[in-house]
Amino acid sequence: MFRIFKAYTYTSDTHELLGPCDAYTDETHDILPFHTEKKPIDKKEGFAVVFNEQNQEWEYHEDHRGLVLFDTKNRQSVTIVKLGKVPEYLTSSTPKSEFDVWDGEKWVKDVEAENLAKRHKLEGIKQQKLYDATIEIAPLQDAIDLDMATEEEEKRLIAWKKYRVLVNRIDTSTADNIVWPEKPD
């Protein structure tokens, strides 16, 4: 003999409530998987209604899916994709810079790291300028060494050498006050 009844379906992965349906069974068959006759609890803002198969009860599980938070260890944004509590290492507070670090309550700028990054960047600029000057100087110096230089090449060589000396004297630790010398024509 068939029995028709109201059942409630839930997802196979998270066991979240999908909704009611009409179900049927007979004395030789159990109710279909991921179905229950147990009436669900009311929906609640910020929570998913989830069926606990072990206890045969509906429960609330925190639902923050889609929420974008920030990892306090690496400042990376993280989109919540699973049910459950938000891990303690995530925060809704947005870091303001790549040098912010989490102090346990808020983001604070690591000024030392920021200054170090500025110095590395300026040192890279300095090295590129020195390289560019060396590339300009080499063929001019060859012309001088071979006693083939024109008067214009001699003037350009002196200008580029002066430029390279001035660039080399730049102290990149004074990041905010650097005035780079002008390149020769």
Q: What does the DSSP assignment read for the chain?
A: --EEEEEEEE-TTT-BEEEEEEEEE-TTSPPPTTEESSPPPPP-TTEEEEEETTTTEEEEEE--TT-EEEETTT--EEE--SSSPPPTTEESSPPSSTTEEE-SSSEEE-HHHHHHHHHHHHHHHHHHHHHHHHHHHHHHHHHHHTT---HHHHHHHHHHHHHHHHHHT--TTSGGG--PPPPP-
Pull the structure tokens for residue 70: 């920030």
Which amino acid, residue 90?
Answer: L
Is the per-residue pLDDT at 175 higher than 80? no
Task: Please report the pLDDT score of residue 84 as a whole number.
Answer: 95
> Residue 33 and residue 115: Cα distance in Å, rounded?
60
pLDDT at 74: 96
Closest CA to 51 of 25, 81, 13, 22: 13
- Give the contacts of 62 (CB within 8 A, at least 6 positions apart): 46, 47, 48, 83, 84, 85, 86
What is the C-alpha separation between 124 and 178, in angstroms, rounded? 14
Q: Would the pLDDT of 102 be above 80?
A: yes
Structure tokens at 120: 């590395």
Q: Which residue has the higher pLDDT, 170 or 3?
A: 170
Residue 38's pLDDT is what? 95
Instruction: Judge whether residue 27 has pLDDT over 80.
Output: no
**Mean pLDDT score across all residues of the chain:** 94
pLDDT at 128 over 80: yes
Mean pLDDT, range 77-102, rounded to an integer: 96
Q: Is the pLDDT of residue 31 over 90?
A: no
Q: What are phi and psi of 50, to 5 degrees?
A: -125, 140
* pLDDT at 176 exceeding the cut of 80: no
pLDDT in tens, 160-170: 999 999 999 99
**Higher pLDDT pick, 3 / 10:** 10
